Structure 1
Amino acid sequence: MAIYNDINTDQEANDMVADFVRQRIREIVDDPDVAELLCPDKGQPIGSKRPPIDSGYFEMFNRDNVSLVDVRSAPIERITPTGLCTTDDEYELDVIIFATGFDALTGAMLAIDIRGRDGVVLKDIWAEGPQINLGIMVAGLPNTFMTHWPGSTSVKVNMFLGGEHQIDWIMECIEHLDANGFDCIETTDIAGSGLRGPTHPKPTPASPRNNPSPASLRSSPSA
């Protein structure tokens, strides 16, 4: 998804990529009905949910011992002693792997009682979704720097290299503050959410993707 820089900003470019992916899935998966279930939904930008790119993933659905159940049309009703029930069938299972979503980027931080200006709590700031500038700073939390937050490159690049870039920026920022007699720096609300608008409302709530925004920092001179 990172090969072209306009996939997440240009609808026509995104549609072209989605159409190509659908075409390839239909070529690989033998059963047309199964292929359509695996195709990216129209009207939802491809890349807003992480696409499966593992070798052999789509080929797996051609195996006799693999079935695909559409739980959107037949939702899961309950777990049973022998498996689970959907609205139209019951399935006997040896193992159930829960993969309904993971709070991978926000969970660890929200588990900590992080408080900022005027006692504001990070959990309250993010009550309606993460608002963050460049994956590094949150409005209301002065002098709080973090790497690999939502909005950062995180898993989209080499984690170590991405972290080094963020740490270099943080170090240069602190050096700038120290050299110019500042003791506080804080991102503004506009910087934290300015570019979420074009892409954030389009994905379904299952897996929103936040986007970084231009730096807009406010610093205050030391007394």
Structure 2
Amino acid sequence: MTIHEQFDALIIGAGFAGLYQSHLLHNKLGYKTRAFEASDEPGGTWNWNRYPGARVDICSREYSFKFDKALYNEWNWTEEFAPQPELMNYVRHLVSRYNLAPLLQFNSRVSSCTWDESTKKWTILVHRKTDDGKVEEEEWQGRYLVLATGCLSSPNKPSFAGLDDYIDSGGKVYYTQTWPREGVDFKGKRVAVIGTGSSGVQSIPVIAESAAQLTVFQRTPAYTVPARNHLVRPEEIEDARRNMEDLYRRELDSPLTNGLATPIEKFMKEYGTDDQIEARFEELWSKGGLNFYVSFPDLLITPETSDRAKAFIHKKIKEIVKDPATSSALCPDYPPGCKRICADTNYWATYNLPHVQLVAGLKERPLRSVGGREKMITLEDGSQYGPFDAIVCATGFDAMTGALDKIHIKGRNGITLKDAWSAGPVNYLGLLIHGFPNMFHIAGPGSPSVLTNMIIAIEQHVEWIADTIVALDKAGDTTIEATEEAQNQWVGFVNAVADATLMKGCNSWYLGANVPGKPRVFMPLLGFPDYRKKCFEVQEKGFEGCVLGK
């Protein structure tokens, strides 16, 4: 086994978080770092999510790092909502521009992380796949451990009865989370898509363009708003560059870090007449994208506002989808935003195509067999559909904690993260975990994370971690971890915020409800500005709520 010592920070993951953390700690502050990536290239979420139609649902001008004005000025997005290949080009540009390649190690899966109380260091065990296909075991040691494992990086692959027989009989199975890089040609094929979350909403219209027959299996319908995607106009680029600092300030002051949105301060019932309320929803529907979240500040709080938004979207669905039974089945019955609202291109209109069929109600009549040797999909009520040449599983991710569940992380006194989180994730600020010194988690549970523009959330966490490490070294402190009391209070606060909203009103991946056996805990925190202020206060008060060790 090869042993590598004397590193300051070991970083797990080479998505946007791992890349910026590597750049800031190593290039800007002079700390010796190493980042480990299981894939053969960087990109994290955008490396894995390469299914047809995959693109960001945040405006590209906002979904851009702003720590370096020169970087912002030199990069040209071509679309309002950048597609996956363009996002990967942006990733490669970051690696090249900041010379990050020497700091990254690919084809390297971290299997365990162990804290050594005597040396005050983390030891991680890495299994690295070599160019000749062999797997070498390596041991790395560092003072700090940064978990940049991503929120949507661990595929959720349910075990469907019949899939193995289906594959043995020549059927093709694809997962949106691990799509083949070479792409898939569905021309003339009979295709089934299982799942209508974000990846399903984005991929279904694209698959329908070439498939001879497309059957969509829906358990729960999604709220989705037209993205209104378009080629970025030169004047939009110039305006964004000229006003980058102002845009960044507005993002930081926005609860959902959406600086281009046009929020209002009045709750719906105070806003005006029924016609004015309808016009407000219509305005944001026409603008497209996730602007709908800022229709009214109480959208996620007040049932009357939620119901009014639900009725508006139902009306839109029924205007677009011609078949009454199909349009009704596509109308969600839970609060808008309880599950993440999607941004789509031609999703509803796809169901008007003669070769596209919706099979709804899988909650009441679940899948019994998927594929089998007859290549049919059978429901519990005995109804059958098919045969299918290809089955696409758009079943999403084990969000926020899934990647960490696959790593054996052992802290002080032998406690494992799996045991510490057996009833759900607990931490302080979403950053620090009691019993796990010098371990930081970027954009995980307990922080705004997936309820924000992730680039903004990542920048804030990466910079807080870097500032904390510098402050510790200046003060001669060797360790930092959350106190148990502060951690418990923070978990209580996160739950209290969620309880004051309608966000628990459905079974979403925010709660881990899409993964059988996962504890049902609402993981992200709603409200970025107050969260950011709290993080600053903790640092300014000498790391209040933390234990520092010499």
Higher relative contact order structure (alpha carbons within 8 Å, sequence separation ≥ 6) = 2
Q: Does the Cα contact within 8 Å between 2:434 and 2:481 map onto a contact in 1?
A: no
TM-score normalised according to structure 2 size:
0.36
Match of 2:506 in 1: 203
Alpha-carbon distance between aligned partners in 2 of 1:140 and 1:20, rounded to the nearest angstrom: 48
Counterpart code for 1:32? P
Structure 1 residues without counterparts, runs of 5 or longer:
none
Q: Is the 8 A contact 2:437 2:480 kept in 1?
A: yes
Pair 1:218-2:531 in alignment: no
1:180 Cα deviation from its structure 2 partner: 4.8
What is the Cα deviation at residue 96 of structure 1? 1.3
- The one-letter code sitting in structure 2 at the alignment partner of 1:219 is C
Does residue 45 (structure 1) correspond to residue 335 (structure 2)? The answer is: yes
Pick from 144, 147, 167: which aligns with 2:462? 167
In the alignment, the residues of structure 1 paired with residue 304 and residue 474 of structure 2 have an alpha-carbon distance, to the nearest angstrom, of: 47
Change (3 A) 1:13 1:119: farther
Check 1:61–1:132 CA distance in 2 against 1; reply closer, same or farther (3 A cut). Answer: farther
Look up the match of 2:250.
Answer: none
Structure 2 distance, partners of 1:137, 1:5, is: 30
Secondary structure of residue in 2 paired with 1:53:
strand
SS at match of 1:212: coil
Distance in 2, matches of 1:85 and 1:20, equals 34
Q: Mark the CA change 1:151 to 1:12 in structure 2 (over 3 Å): closer, same or farther.
A: farther
Question: Could you tell me which residue of structure 2 aligns to residue 63 of structure 1?
Answer: 353
Task: Name the CA distance, whole Å, in 1 between partners of 2:351 and 2:462.
Answer: 43
What CA RMSD, in Å, does the superposition of the two structures yield over aligned residues?
2.8
| CA distance in 2 between partners of 1:149 and 1:206 (Å) | 13
SS of 2:385's equivalent in the other structure is: strand
Which structure 2 residues correspond to residues 16-165 of structure 1 after superposition, within 5 A? Answer: 16-41=308-333, 44-70=334-360, 71-79=362-370, 80-81=372-373, 82-86=375-379, 87-92=381-386, 93-165=388-460
| Greater Cα shift, 32-41 or 174-183 | 174-183
Letter of the 1:143 counterpart: N
* Alpha carbons of structure 1 residues 106 and 221: separation in structure 2 relative to 1, 3 Å: closer
Task: Tell me the SS of whatever aligns to 2:545.
Answer: strand
Alignment-derived partner of residue 305 in structure 2? 13
Alpha-carbon spacing, 1:211–1:159, altered in 2? closer, same or farther (3 Å): closer
Structure 1 residues 10 and 138: CA distance shift in structure 2, 3 A? farther
The structure with the larger Rg is: 2
Moved more, 4-13 or 25-34: 4-13
Corresponding residue SS for 1:12? helix
SS, match of residue 359 in structure 2: coil
Which structure has greater helix proportion? 2
**Aligned-pair CA distance for 1:221:** 4.3
2-structure distance, mates of 1:18, 1:181: 55
Structure 2: how far apart are the matches of 1:46 and 1:195?
A: 20
**CA distance in 1: counterparts of 2:455 and 2:342, whole angstroms:** 23
Shift in Å at residue 14 of structure 1? Answer: 2.8
Name the % identity: 31
Runs of 4+ with >6 A deviation: none
- Whole-angstrom distance in 1 between the partners of 2:505 and 2:297: 18
Displacement of 1:202: 2.6
Q: TM-score, normalised by structure 1?
A: 0.81
In the alignment, structure 1 residue 192 sits paired with structure 2 residue 491: yes
* Deviation, structure 1 residue 212: 1.9
CA contact (8 A) 1:138 1:192 kept: no
1:107 is displaced (CA, Å) by: 1.6
* Contact 2:338/2:504, CA 8 A, preserved across alignment: no
CA contact (8 A) 2:435 2:481 kept: no
Distance of 1:11 and 1:137 partners within structure 2? 35
CA apart distance, 1:5: 4.5
Per-residue deviation, residues 153-195 of structure 1 (Å, max 9, x unmatched): 4455444443112111222233444445553231512213422
Alpha-carbon distance between aligned partners in 2 of 1:9 and 1:117, rounded to the nearest angstrom: 40
1:134 touches 1:212 (CA, 8 Å); kept in 2?
A: no
Relative to structure 1, is the Cα distance of residues 142 and 212 closer, same or farther in structure 2, using a 3 angstrom cutoff? farther
Q: Which amino acid aligns with 1:13?
A: T
SS in 2 for 1:100: coil
* 1:40-89 deviations in Å (ceiling 9; x for gaps): 21xx3322222332110011111111111122233211122212111231
Shift in alpha-carbon separation, 1:68–1:168, aligned structure 2, 3 A: same
Structure 2 contact 399–509 (Cα < 8 Å) conserved: no
Structure 1 distance, partners of 2:343, 2:424, is 27
